[in-house]
Structure 1
Amino acid sequence: MIIATYRLNGEAMNSIVVTYNNGQVAPHAGLSESARAFAAASLAENTRRAYAAQWRLWTAHCQANGLTALPADTTAVANWIAQRATEGDVGGKRRKAGARGQAIATLRTALAAIGAAHQANGIVLDTGAAELRMVLKGIRREKTEKIAKAAPLRAGLLMEVIAALGDTPLEVRDAALLSLGYAFARRRSELAGLDLDRLGDGDGVLSSDAHALTVTLIRHKTQAGEPLVSTVPRDGSETAVKAIERWVALAAVKSGEPVLRRVLKGGKITTERLHPQSVTGIIQRRVAEHFMRKGVPAAVAQREAELYSGHSLRHGFCTTAAEAGASVQAIMSVTGHKSVPIVMGYTAAADRARISPHRIKGVGLTSAAKL
């Protein structure tokens, strides 16, 4: 932990600033231990982890340049943000695309992390200060990039991928993962956090009866005090239900235990929960294998598979449902989206493809067009 001294209303104050264990931003010492624990839990685990990483970068920058991390000077923060937008490390797809400097989303997270640390210590940081606002606006204008979205893994392709998976524990597990992710339109962390029948140490529960399978998320991204419940009827998703229940039986998953587990190279099924970061690799591997079975060269198949990510199952469900004519309300009943415009983006894209004037005879440049 870091102990910082700062001035509040002219009086020198000492406060516990940040504990890096689990990425928690801890409030000042005036709160009781239980109150501090609940305050730390106000942010999702992934958010705490992201904030902790950005806070470490900010404090390291301050130490190297003789600046005060907390309370921070908004001009110093603006300078740091601008520096990272120009010189910051680039990774993943952005590096392959030749991008320079860090993405605007990363910089916004950095600013939010600094703001959260101040708020936790009862200090007001004006994150809307003119210099910060103008620098961020300028970065958006000067460094506009195409947002890299995961390709949707539509039902047709997914069915082919699942159908080709065999009987090894790893293949049975992966078929269940793909089925769960698509049928319930869940995020990778939500999939990895599922327990069977009752909540163990995960974030949600997978249960079943004679009519349907149900996922109840107790802790989730859009949490507003109520569990998020999604139901998949047996008679509408036979392939998904079969794949999921086949895995549960093979792995002998007991009540309260993780549904998705690690499988060792020798085929041994462990009781260790599958890590959320493994989901993208599993999806890409199975998609690449599918294309290679179709005769696609390995390099091309791998490049195509890299278009997909852990979000492709959720995106694939939304896109497939929208293209089939499902309403925004129907899609949201499964995904749990709180933002109607986000879901309308899926339906709008489907509508553009379905009602394109280029499909009208005589409009599109086809061999049937009249001169």
Structure 2
Amino acid sequence: MSKIDQYIQAATRDNTRQSYQAAVRHFEIEWGGFLPATADSIANYLVEYAETLAINTLRQRLAALAQWHISQGFPDPTKSPVVRKVFRGIQALHPAKEKQAKPLQLDQLEQVDRWLASAIESARNEGRRSAELRYVRDRALLLLGFWRGFRGDELTRLQVEDVTVSPGEGMICYLSQTKSDRRYQGTSFKTPALSRLCPVDAFIDWVHTAQLTSGPVFRAIDRWGHLSEISLHEDSLIPIFRSALHAAGIEAANLYSGHSLRRGFATWATANGWDLKTLMEYVGWKNIQSAMRYVDVADQFSQQRIEHSLGKSAPIHQLSKP
């Protein structure tokens, strides 16, 4: 690979590169399309999957096919009028309701933390090294993911040497790359030490128990208690979270995902008086639309607000009198 190719590859995020490659394979292998493609074949491809794939998935497939053609020096067929009209038609006939992860509430976080603390103590007393490591790791994942509002990929990219801990005060997590950091400037996230459910104590316990001095913070653990040299894959976080929630007795654990921690913190912060600007700065959102997707207000039907206003206003039948 040439230096130019290395820098071009580095400019594209791993997740994006992998999803684009999968999209091109789907077009060629599963659907049987040919590259370079014509506008008509792209349109027919969209029609084939209009009722089975989500709008955002189809949009991502178009972006991948566009990128392939441009990188190979061919005209981009996805920008043709027929493709654009077909895509708008699919949006009109198959409007998508965005699926969102169920937010993890604070009392649920406490319930899971109590279960994990008990499981850690039992594993240590019984000398079950592998179980101890998993429980300590999972506790650090949950508490840091919640209180810092981290995405799953940010948790898996965290490096031991990029975390600075001040016991009793807090810790600073440096990430060289985040989803919103388009210029690769790196971002430092401050995490406070808390009197309970403390992410700093959980992190210290994990690093000490696993004897980590460098490399990925969160790693896979085999049945014998051996730690992997590489970080957990982002996709492995969902079964880890759901397993802990299920074991702790949280109902409908399968409705939660890695985003549940981020949404849970945003919902908790909003309910406790954080204004949107403060929340955006803390979590790292760059625009209001991104932030609002994660916030579940406590009074989601505005019942309390309306009832409060009704108490101050005159009855409706009085307002109708001349």
Pick the TM interval, shorter chain.
0.7 to 0.9
Taking structure 1 as reference, are residues 149 and 346 closer, same or farther at Cα in structure 2, changes over 3 Å only? closer
CA distance in 2, matches of 1:358, 1:160: 33
Instruction: Indicate which of 14, 34, 46 corresponds to 1:81.
Output: 46
Identity of matched residues, % = 28
Could you say which residue in structure 2 is the equivalent of 1:28?
Answer: none
Could you say which residue in structure 1 is the equivalent of 2:207?
Answer: 248
Could you say which residue in structure 2 is the equivalent of 1:93?
Answer: none
Cα offset, 1:55, TM superposition? 0.7
Deviation sequence 1:222-246 (CA, Å, 0-9, x none): 2222212210122476622111110
Higher RCO (CA < 8 A, seq sep 6+): 2
Taking structure 1 as reference, are residues 130 and 359 closer, same or farther at Cα in structure 2, changes over 3 Å only? same
Contact 1:322–1:346 (CA<8 Å) still a contact in 2? Answer: no
Cα offset, 1:79, TM superposition? 0.7
Cα offset, 1:354, TM superposition? 6.5
Taking structure 1 as reference, are residues 354 and 144 closer, same or farther at Cα in structure 2, changes over 3 Å only? closer
SS at match of 1:118: helix
Q: Please tell me the residue identity of whatever aligns with 1:188.
A: G
Taking structure 1 as reference, are residues 245 and 37 closer, same or farther at Cα in structure 2, changes over 3 Å only? same
Taking structure 1 as reference, are residues 248 and 348 closer, same or farther at Cα in structure 2, changes over 3 Å only? closer
Contact 2:42–2:77 (CA<8 Å) still a contact in 1? Answer: no
Could you say which residue in structure 2 is the equivalent of 1:310?
Answer: 258
Task: Kindly indicate whether residue 163 of structure 2 is the aligned counterpart of residue 206 of structure 1.
Answer: yes
CA distance in 2, matches of 1:259, 1:85: 41
Question: What runs of 5+ residues in structure 1 fail to find an aligned partner?
Answer: 1-31, 87-100, 198-204, 293-300, 364-371
Question: What runs of 5+ residues in structure 2 fail to find an aligned partner?
Answer: 121-131, 312-322
* Residue-pair matches, total: 296
Cα offset, 1:347, TM superposition? 5.2
Task: Kindly indicate whether residue 289 of structure 2 is the aligned counterpart of residue 341 of structure 1.
Answer: yes
Cα offset, 1:337, TM superposition? 1.2
Instruction: Indicate which of 162, 181, 199 corresponds to 2:145.
Output: 181
SS at match of 1:291: coil
SS at match of 2:188: strand
CA distance in 2, matches of 1:208, 1:244: 9
- Structure 1 outlier segments of 4+, above 6 Å: none
Cα offset, 1:272, TM superposition? 3.9
TM-score, normalization by structure 2: 0.84
Q: Which moved more, 1:233-242 or 1:273-282?
A: 233-242
RMSD value over aligned CA atoms? 2.4
Judging by fraction of residues, say which structure has more helix: 2
Task: Kindly indicate whether residue 192 of structure 2 is the aligned counterpart of residue 233 of structure 1.
Answer: yes
Q: Which moved more, 1:245-254 or 1:181-190?
A: 181-190
TM-score, normalization by structure 1: 0.73
Deviation sequence 1:126-147 (CA, Å, 0-9, x none): 5332211111112122222332
Instruction: Indicate which of 254, 273, 277 corresponds to 2:231.
Output: 273
Could you say which residue in structure 2 is the equivalent of 1:46?
Answer: 15
Cα offset, 1:248, TM superposition? 0.7
Q: For 1:161-200, what aligned pairs fall within 5 Å after superposition? A: 161-165=112-116, 166-167=119-120, 168-197=132-161
Cα offset, 1:358, TM superposition? 5.3
Contact 1:54–1:113 (CA<8 Å) still a contact in 2? Answer: yes
Deviation sequence 1:165-217 (CA, Å, 0-9, x none): 122221111101101211221111211111112xxxxxxx3221243211111
Instruction: Indicate which of 72, 82, 89 corresponds to 1:138.
Output: 89
